[in-house]
Structure 1
């Protein structure tokens, strides 16, 4: 596990609108994706769901971004600091039901396979159909993305407590204008209690962006619709 620095900056930027720095949630990682031939990469967020398997967003690891490029995962709070560690990603796989031209249809789900197992307790993911009666219940969002002031590099883990406002046949919406996800939080977990256990119910997928640089909302692909895709990777020997 190599400690690979990100771009240098005088001040680490924030992420998650309305959130605070998250010193816990060790299973939530940052992905740094460098496409082939590119000097600068992009950030996404991911969740450990098995010792070598990360759950993230399909649009983060499309073939044009990862084929021939480099993907690494950071486990820790501040990727600009001295604590935490990096692990190489050796494979990525996208839910075959994902349609990049229609994120409202959900299935913006992918897995990233790590080079070596990580000794962190994985997060459970939801296996129960998500229904509209969950609207109004509490949830939590976690990500390494930008804040609403300036789109920067991201790289610090933030979280925010909020509530579910919508459940559609393919998506779950959490938060309000002041408490939600932003650029770089894609792939991160939308958590709710399922049978009393914090559980991934959605993968951060997309949001409305108000020009020039204000993130305004966040929508999350329901994981209960992608079990046939996810389970074989989690259950692989």
Structure 2
């Protein structure tokens, strides 16, 4: 298995729309971006709320993740805390609809992110990570995309899922929205429009498209742009098809 950096991180950014010219030039230009224009999602059991603890205290990042193997969650690198606890769980994951209600909490024992990720240059991609659960869960994992994304997919339907903020600024409830692909770049994907996209807390969540008739993770929620004080106006997603070596190394591990 390839060796990757092991960490546990901080910020929570988000999702997608807009053209390439709208990409922020640095992290300070980007804003945390919940599902806007969506509805409560009582299905999709493989999509979890993910908390990665900070080094000290009980505070944690609030992100979303998707189960891709019985003990492996796919998420975003910026959801990791770069200094982590020296002992005990590094985080926890919730499987259910409302994290204040019934569901399953599972400890996270490891967190790994792509070592090429640069928090100061989100445009450069590599915002991808995995979280390893303490024990396997009896939930069917989601497949992740192995088909190259192309501009020919613009206009195709895509479904976004996350535990982030909605229009009323509530979070912690799993929501989803169906929208379309609007941009495919060599590194990133843009999904949705001004009223259908992700927001704060959806970071790391899956974007699903049908691949050979099977709902498949094609993107991981990465970041969004703030406009006039509104952090949830659009966003961008990491292309899963570009990081198969990194992801497979954990899914295929003994």
Q: TM over 0.5: same fold?
A: yes
State the Cα distance separating 1:96 from its structure 2 match. Answer: 1.9
The aligned residue for residue 130 of structure 1 is 149
The aligned residue for residue 118 of structure 1 is 137
* Matches of 2:56 and 2:200, distance apart in 1: 23
Q: Please, which moves more after superposition, 85-94 or 96-105?
A: 96-105
Find out whether 1:43 has 2:26 as its counterpart. no
State the Cα distance separating 1:105 from its structure 2 match. Answer: 1.6
Find out whether 1:161 has 2:178 as its counterpart. yes
Q: TM-score when scaled to structure 1?
A: 0.88
The aligned residue for residue 233 of structure 2 is 216
1:73-222 mapped onto 2 (5 Å cutoff): 73-81=93-101, 83-150=102-169, 154-222=171-239
* Matches of 1:29 and 1:190, distance apart in 2: 13
CA RMSD of aligned residues (A): 1.4
The verdict on how the C-alpha distance between 1:219 and 1:23 changes in structure 2, with shifts beyond 3 A counting, is same
* Matches of 1:204 and 1:53, distance apart in 2: 17
Larger RCO (CA within 8 A; separation ≥ 6): 2
How many pairs does the alignment contain? 219
Secondary structure of 2:152 counterpart: helix
Runs of at least 5 residues in structure 1 that lack an aligned partner in the other structure? 1-14
* Matches of 2:37 and 2:131, distance apart in 1: 28
Q: TM-score when scaled to structure 2?
A: 0.82
Q: Please, which moves more after superposition, 208-217 or 160-169?
A: 208-217
Runs of at least 5 residues in structure 2 that lack an aligned partner in the other structure? 1-33
User: Does structure 1 retain, via aligned residues, the 8 Å contact 2:56–2:85?
Assistant: no
* Matches of 2:124 and 2:185, distance apart in 1: 9
State the Cα distance separating 1:210 from its structure 2 match. Answer: 2.6
The aligned residue for residue 235 of structure 1 is 252
User: Does structure 1 retain, via aligned residues, the 8 Å contact 2:224–2:231?
Assistant: no
Secondary structure of 1:36 counterpart: coil
Secondary structure of 1:99 counterpart: coil
The 4+ residue runs of structure 1 with deviation greater than 4 A are: none
Secondary structure of 2:97 counterpart: coil
State the Cα distance separating 1:234 from its structure 2 match. Answer: 0.3
